[in-house]
Structure 1
C-alpha cells in the first residue's frame, strides 16, 4: 500500500512539474529582457522555491545563494523546462494507454469485440504482454523524470561544494573545542565530588580511628560506617566517570543501574536489535544519566521515562520527566551533552516549557 501511495505521489509531482514548466517557460520568455532586475530575480527565486517544495527538497539556503550569486534560480528554471515537458509527455502517454486499456478490458470482459477484434487467446496474450511492457516503460519514465528533476534541483540550487566543505570544517573545529571544554568541565566536577564528599569522609574516618586508638573502642563501629559511606561514594564517582558495566553488560543493563540508583522512579525501555558502537553506547548512557540527574535534582520530577530504540541507522534516546520544566539547553550539563552528541555528528534537542514536561532527545548515528 505504501508503494502505491508513493507511486501516486511521484506521478502527481511529475504532472504538476509539467504544468509549472510551461508557466515558467512563459515567465522566462516575458522577463528575458529584465533578468538582471531584482524583482525578476526575486520572482524566479519564489518559483524555484515552489519547485523545491514540490520535490520535497530543503529551501532554507536559497535566499542566501541567490543574493550572493544573482540569477542562479533563473538558470535553474531555464534548465528544468525541458525536463518538465518530458515529464508531461510521459504522463500523457500513460493517460493515453489507460484510456485505451480500460475500454478494451471492459469489452473483452463482457465478451464483446473491441474495434472489430475478438478476444482470442493469442490476441489476448499479445495485448497483455505488450501492455505490461509499455506500462513498465512508462512507469520507469515517470520515476526517471522525477529523479532527474531532484538531481537537477540539488545540483543547481544546492549549496556550493566548497561552501559545504568550509561549513563542515567550521563545525568540526567547534565540536573539537566543545569536547575539550566538556572534558575540562567533567574533570572539575569529579574534583569537586572527591574534595567535597569523599575527602571529607576519609578525614572523618581517620579522626575516628585515631580517637579509638586512644582508648575509645566504641568509635570503631562509627568508623566502620564511615568507611562504608566512603566506599559507596567512591563507587558513585567511579561510575559517573565511566560505568564498568557498560562494556560487559551493554547499554540496557547500564541504564537499569541508573534507574536503580535514582531517587525518582525511572522506567527504562531499551530496545536495540544489536549493540551499537561503543562511542554511541557511551554517549547514550551519559545523555540518560545527565537527564535523569537534572530531573531528580532541579525539576522536582515524580516520574521519569527513558526510551532507547533504533531508527534507521541511528540510535534515538528520549528522556521525559513530569517535572516543572524550564530547563536551559545552554546550562552546563546539557550543553556538555550537546557537544558530546555533536562530536558524533548527532542531533541533540531539549524541549522544556515552563511547567513541564521536559523531553531530552538525542539522535546518534551508528554509521
Structure 2
C-alpha cells in the first residue's frame, strides 16, 4: 500500500547546511562589531574604578544589560543558522556572563566576516578564467591560470573556515552561556532518573497491551478452534464435520496472523536480519493506508537508535490508521549531521492527544536516548510526529 524512496546521497542537505552557516556569519559579524564597541566603552568606563569592586559593578551594570540583549540576539542566530541550541539563554540576572561572552566572542565574529570576504575574493579570482576575456585584454595566459588557481585555493580555505568559525562559536556559546558543570550534572541525573521511570512505565504498558492482545485475540481464537475441532470429532455426518474442519482451518489462519502481529509489536525479526530500512518498508507494506517512505540515511546506525526509530514509525502509523481518519501518511527518516530526524505526517483531522499511552511511550523511548519528541496536531490537521535522536 506504500512506497519507499531512498536518497542516500546527502550532498544537498550538507550544501544547504553550509549555506545557512555562511549566511549566519553576516549577522554574526554585525553583533561582533556591537560587542567590540560595547567591550571597549565598558573597559574605558570601568578603568578608573577597577580597584573598587562595588563601584565597578555599578558602572558595568548598564553595559551588562546591553550585553544581555546582544547575547540573546546571538543565541537566536546560532539556533536559526547553525542549529546550535544553548540551554543557558542569558536573563536579567546573567549580565556578568553575557558581558564576558560578548567580550570573548567578538574576535570570532570579526573572523567570520573576514572568512566571508575571503570567500568572495576566492570565488572572484577562481572563476576569473571564465569571464576575464570579456572584461579585459588578457595577454599572459599563465598569469590568469595562476590567479585562478590561487583563487580556488583561497575559496577552498574559506569554505573550511566557515565550518571552523561555526564550531568555535558553538564552543564559545556553550562555554560562556551554558550551565556550569555542576548544574549540567544535576540536570543530567534528574533527566536520567525521570527517563528511566518513564521507560519502566512504558515497558509495563507494553506488556499489559501484549497480554490484552493475546487474551482478547489469539486466546479467543484458539478456544474457538478447539471447540470447532471438538464438534467435528463428535459429529457423525462427514459433510458437516468437513465444514467444521474448514472453519477450524480458517480460525487457524486468523490466529496465526494475530500472533504474527503481536510478535511484530514485541520486536521485528527483520530489524536484525535486514536492517532498519527493510523493517520500515515492512511497516509501509502492512499498512492499510498509502504510506510514502523517504529514507535518507547513508550510513549504518546504532542498534538502539534503529529500534527506537522503528517503534516510533510503527506506533505513529498505527495511531493514524486507528484514530486520525487520514487518507495518506508520509514518513521521512533523515540523518542530518549528527542528528537523526524522524517525521510522520498524516492528512487527518488533527487534535491528537499527546498524553495518550502510545505517544507517551514513544516520548519515553526517545528521551531514553537523549532525543527530543514533539507532536504538532492542530484541529483540522495535519498531524506531525517528530523525533530527533543524537547519533554522534
Query: If the length of structure 1 is used for normalisation, what is the TM-score?
Result: 0.74
Q: How far apart are 1:151 and its partner, in Å?
A: 5.0
Query: If the length of structure 2 is used for normalisation, what is the TM-score?
Result: 0.70
- Tell me if 1:296 matches 2:321: yes
Q: Name which of structure 1's ranges 346-355 and 5-14 shifts more when overlaid on structure 2.
A: 5-14
| Whole-angstrom distance in 1 between the partners of 2:108 and 2:326 | 56
Q: How far apart are 1:28 and its partner, in Å?
A: 5.4
Give the SS at the match of 1:35.
Answer: helix
| Whole-angstrom distance in 2 between the partners of 1:157 and 1:180 | 34
Which residue of 35, 48, 72 maps to 1:49? 72
Give the SS at the match of 1:291.
Answer: helix
- Tell me if 1:35 matches 2:57: yes
Match of 1:180 in 2: 200
Q: How far apart are 1:229 and its partner, in Å?
A: 1.4
Which residue of 183, 195, 213 maps to 1:163? 183
Q: Which has the higher contact order (CA 8 A, sep 6+)?
A: 2
Give the SS at the match of 2:226.
Answer: helix
| Whole-angstrom distance in 1 between the partners of 2:316 and 2:109 | 54
Match of 1:197 in 2: 217
The gaps in structure 1 that reach 5 residues or longer are 98-108, 112-119
Which has more radius of gyration? 1
Alignment of 1:1-367 (within 5 A): 10=25, 13-14=28-29, 17-27=32-42, 29-30=44-45, 33=55, 35-36=57-58, 41-50=64-73, 52=75, 58=85, 61-63=88-90, 67=93, 71-77=96-102, 83=107, 151-215=171-235, 218=240, 219-367=244-392
The answer to whether the 8 Å contact 2:349/2:381 transfers is yes
Closer, same or farther: CA 295–55 of 1 in aligned 2, 3 Å:
closer
The answer to whether the 8 Å contact 1:21/1:85 transfers is no
Closer, same or farther: CA 263–80 of 1 in aligned 2, 3 Å:
closer
The answer to whether the 8 Å contact 1:266/1:306 transfers is yes
What do the CA deviations read for 1:265-322 (whole angstroms, capped 9, x no partner)? 2233334324322222221111111111111110111111222232223433222111
The answer to whether the 8 Å contact 1:319/1:359 transfers is yes
The gaps in structure 2 that reach 5 residues or longer are 1-14, 50-54, 122-134
Closer, same or farther: CA 150–285 of 1 in aligned 2, 3 Å:
closer
Q: Name which of structure 1's ranges 335-344 and 15-24 shifts more when overlaid on structure 2.
A: 15-24
